[in-house]
Amino acid sequence: MTTATSISVFSSVLIGIAAFCIWIIIFHQIKKRTNALHVRFSGQLVKVLIIIICAFHVVSILSPENSLSRLLLGSSALIVAVIGFASQPVIADLICGFLISINKPFEIGDRIIVDGYEPGIVEDITLRHTILTIYDGIRIIVPNSQLNSKVVYNTSYKKPNRGVHLQFSVSLDTNVPKAMDIIRDCVAASPYTQGVVRHNIDEDSGPVYFLKFSESAIILETTLQLPPTISTYIATTDINVRVLNAFRQNNIEIPYNYLNIIDKNGFFEYKDPNADKAKKSSLGVGSPRMRHYRTDTIYFSESADPIEAATQLSKVFAKRERIDQRSTSQLRLIVEEAVSMFKEMLLQNNAAIYLEGSGQICRVHIHIPIKVNLKHYQSLALLSDNVKDETKPGLYSIIQGVIYNGVKNLQQNKGDEYHWSIQDTPDQNHFSQEEISRSILSMVSDDIKVTVTHYYTEIVVVKAFH
């Protein structure tokens, strides 16, 4: 191999590497704007094409008699081999993946049910397979050829939310309209569900249908509307627990099969299944819980006293997670300060509050559902570029300025979300420690985060219990 040939090969490899790196950068920029299925698949396909073209070019340099055009078009045997190889699983998966990305029977984030598999959320698509996430973060790898040939149930098809069906059995002598109302009340009370629009009316939950009679029960069914970020298993568990408790409180029987045993020869010893519970050790009963819990959501516009309602949430959380008295008082102070600080903003925009976490850490979420393209969103940031409100100095002014910056970034198409934290962002350098320390909220909490999107603004106050 001559020196000129070596230089040509080396140059071709460098160009291929440069093209590969440039495409990765471009692809990441595209993904920031859209995470659609065809974008994911096309990104994988372009990477492979760059490698193949680079390899063919190197071969044509090393063997001039085998030019790129001859390699691709000049050999009928090669074409026949490619067509024959297309029937193999690898090529079949590639072709089916291409068809899926073109026809789009589902998108990234959709909840689908494939025959023979557990229901899952579409996480990613590659050249050969599609990745589904099921409960507990377990991932199922489904070949694209199987997805293309099987029936796929998409509960999120071309909708911002996804629908999940739930069925409930009640006894034949049940007051059915009452049971239907109870189910709807439980769905509406859940912090994980969203309302529906029917007949141009906003409803807090979907309808409940009298589906059918079974051998010993009446089957009622409803459909939950869940945001893409909410786990189906968490939401259904929450609804089932609420319905079970509500049925018991209202003396609505859930039928079940049972067997009567008659002992004609005498009697048998009955053992209480709860008898062994008293023998168990009581160690750890009073220690903080290590389980995640989320309170109900309270809307400020529906509460006569928002501060008192939010304080009750903190009490419920503290009791459920077995937090000590000192930490309970701190949590209550955080909730009171947060609601008091943003009360005016919250009441005007139908904001909501809920708490989630465990006995180790609690996050207070203040959710403000306002779209960034609406005019009244500017009420969150009626400030000049100096973003200072001298009547409310300190943390309030800082957060108001952060929201203003988030609105500006989104309007300038700088991503889909704007994140800020008082702990670990460069923005903190613009505010003095004296400004931050003026607020009790910043002194008691461990972190304060702000997220601004096109659809909502959320303030999260974090408190770790030591």
Tokens of residue 284, six digits: 């750890």
Dihedral sign for Cα atoms in the order 49, 55, 61, 64:
negative
Please state which CATH class domain 162-249 belongs to.
Answer: alpha beta
**What confidence score (pLDDT) does residue 280 get?**
41
Ramachandran quadrant class, 109 (left: phi over 0; alpha: psi -120 to 50; beta: rest): left
Range from 109-113, 114-118, 209-213, 438-442 that averages highest in pLDDT: 209-213
Q: Give the tens place of pLDDT for each residue, 303-316.
A: 788 889 899 999 99
pTM for the full predicted model: 0.55
CA distance 368 to 108: 26
pLDDT digits (tens, 9 = 90+) for 17-71: 777 778 777 777 766 666 666 666 677 777 777 777 777 777 676 666 555 555 5
Q: Identify whether the C-beta of residue 306 lies closer than 8 Å to the C-beta of residue 340.
A: no
Q: What is the end-to-end Cα distance of the chain in Å, rounded? A: 69
* Residue extents of the structural domains in the chain: 3-154, 162-249, 293-464
Q: What distance lies between CA 430 and its chain's CA centroid?
A: 32
Please identify which residue in the block is written with the tokens 């002014």: 397
List, in order, residues 6 or more apart from 283 with CB less than 8 Å away. Answer: none
**Residue 397 pLDDT exceeds 80:** no
| Amino acid 418: pLDDT | 86
Q: What is the mean pLDDT of the chain?
A: 77
CATH of domain 293-464: 3.30.565.10
At residue 235's C-alpha, the angle toward residues 229 and 238, to 5°, is 145
Q: What is the pLDDT of residues 125-149, one digit of tens each?
A: 887 888 888 877 788 888 888 888 8
Find residue 197's DSSP bridge partners: 202
Whole-Å CA distances, 364 to 66, 246, 255, 295, 311: 67, 27, 40, 10, 11
The length of the chain, given as a count of residues: 466
| Dist. CA 113–CA 232, nearest whole Å | 12
3-state DSSP call for residue 455? coil
